[in-house]
Every structure is written in C-alpha cells, then in structure tokens.
Amino acid sequence: MDATNSITEELNEGVLHKKLDRIFSSPSAPTVCYSIEIAAKDDFDIELLERLTPQPVFCSLPWISDDNLRYSDDFLRSPTMQLADKLCKAHYTVVNHVSCYNITEQQVDRLLTSGVKNLFVIRGDTVQEDQIFQHSAGLVQYLRKQQQQERSLPRLTIGVGGYPYGHHQSPSQTEELNYLKEKIDHGVDFLLTQTLYDSGAFFRYRNRCRQAGITIPIIPGIYLPHSYRHLQAMLNLTRISLTPEVHAAFAAHAQDLPEQFEAFVVDHFVGVLRELLEPNQTGSSDPIKLVHFFSFNKFPLIQKMLRKMDDFFH
C-alpha cells in the first residue's frame, strides 16, 4: 500500500473493499489471511503490531460510546480516531466500529465527513428508549442512504456481527436470522462472528446463515483470553454459555500460573483453528479465507498462534 497522510486519503481509495474482494473472489488456496482488533488504550504498542508475521489485512478499532460521543463535534480528536490516523500513517487499513448508542444522524454525518469509510456497525450493549437508531439495521440503512445521496463519497465498506451461540435477546434462532438477513440486505459486505470457543458452533451457525439466504463472507472471530479471570469477564460481557466440554477444559486450568494458562490457551485455539481451516484443504465449497483475532493488545499471544499455524498463515 502506498504511504498515506490521513484517514481520508487512505480510506477514499476503497482499499478494504478491494482487499476483501481479492481474498474472497480468488480460487481456494491453502493460505489464510487474518485481521485483528486493537484497543485505543495506553498499553497499545505499534512496534509489537509491526512485528507480527504475517501482517493483518486490516485493524478494527472498537467504539467506546461515551468516549467517542464526547468528541461528537470533532470525532478526529477522540482517542480511537487518533489511533486510526496513526495506523493509517503506518500503512494499515482501518475499520472503525460505530455504535447505535445515543448517536444522532448529525453525528453520523460528521463521522462520515471525517473520512471514515470502513465501518463495523454494532447496536451496543445499552439502548436508550429515545435514541435515533434502536437497531444496527437502521444505522446500516442510513449509512447506505447517505452514500447514495452524497455522490462525492466513495464506496462504504460495512461489516456487522453474528452470534454463533445466539443473541441473548433473540426469541429464536429463526427470528434472529430473519433480522440478520434484513440487515444484510440493506448493504452489508461481511459478517464477523462473536468470540468463538469451538469450531462446531461456527459451522452450525454458518450453515443456518446459508440456509437463510445469507451469502456474504462470514469471518470467524477468535479471542485468546490471557487469564481465566479475563475469560470469565468476557463470557459475562458477551453472555455466552460454553459447551460442558469446553467449560471443563478451561476450568481445569483456572488455577494455572500465567505462562501455563497461556500455553493451554494457545494449544486450545490452535486446535479450534485447525478444525476450522482443514476443510479448506479438502475442497470445501465454502472455505474460510479470513480469520479475525480479538487481541486486547496482546500481540505476542497472537504471534504464538500464527507461528503454530504457519502452514496456513504465511
């Protein structure tokens, strides 16, 4: 990628859309790409990110609602957007999350005019009765409408989340998938799953999506907990219930020393990834070509995974 000087310059080229098109339109190959989520926190070290081998296809930046909305008159001043600019200057492709939480149409417009064109749209954990966008489908629809009306805007690349273990507020899998299909039909480019802990959950979810008529790329999301306590916090946040077998496997390491728990986590998720990716080598009609890592800025842990999977990621 050519050097860039601002978020606008990097994203106006439609780099992400071209990358995804190349990845998912190419014939099946054993090589797999990955993307990575990064938090705009004090422990972020761009040198550790730059040492990752291979490098990620894109970096996604979570939306911290209260923090970002504090800068709604000038989103570029927010820590997340400051990090986005830093990453763009370092030649990374950036996907900014945007949450429905309390954001107005005017604030969305200001976000778009700041130069952001790659967005991962989420509803958010909290919903206020009087907020404009009650669901992410409404925000996706509004973003596409703005793009169509503002001819000067380049193509917007949009991703949304999927829930292999089910959304805790969905009355049924059927209703959840019907809503997801409606949202995607508004103009979504890719689907990124919530954190996965076993391969079976992904394959079952993808099958349900395909049967519902969802044809866009579905990217498995992998989270590597760096402690048992962190795992429990993530499960509480995402409201995921592990299968008895997976729960027992993690619980058996609850009292491990940090390095022992880390070794177990790497081995466990190497196993999950191999189960996800090995069908690629046997002529899968729906190969996985991109994997997403939720890093929590623990880049050395991601690197250990990549090294153990270098027959796929290279």
Tens digit of each residue's pLDDT (9 = 90 or more) over 182-203: 999 999 999 999 999 999 999 9
- Give residue for tokens 């390491």: 253
Walk me through the domains of the chain, giving residue ranges and CATH numbers. 3-24+31-312 (3.20.20.220)
Q: 71-75, 118-122, 155-159: which has the minimum mean pLDDT?
A: 71-75
Local structure of 108: helix, strand or coil: helix
User: CB-based contacts of 77: which residues, under 8 Å, 6+ apart?
Assistant: 71
Query: What does the pLDDT look like over 145-159, one tens digit per residue?
Result: 988 887 666 678 999
The sign of the CA dihedral 159, 161, 164, 170 is negative
The sign of the CA dihedral 162, 13, 19, 303 is negative
β-sheet bridge partners, residue 158: 119
- CA-nearest of 228, 227, 237, 232 to 194 is 237
Res 12: pLDDT: 43
More confident residue, 42 or 36: 36
Local structure of 50: helix, strand or coil: helix
Per-residue pLDDT at 101 exceeds 60: yes
Average pLDDT, the chain: 86
Per-residue pLDDT at 11 exceeds 50: no
Per-residue pLDDT at 7 exceeds 60: no
Q: 71-75, 225-229, 245-249, 255-259: which has the minimum mean pLDDT?
A: 71-75
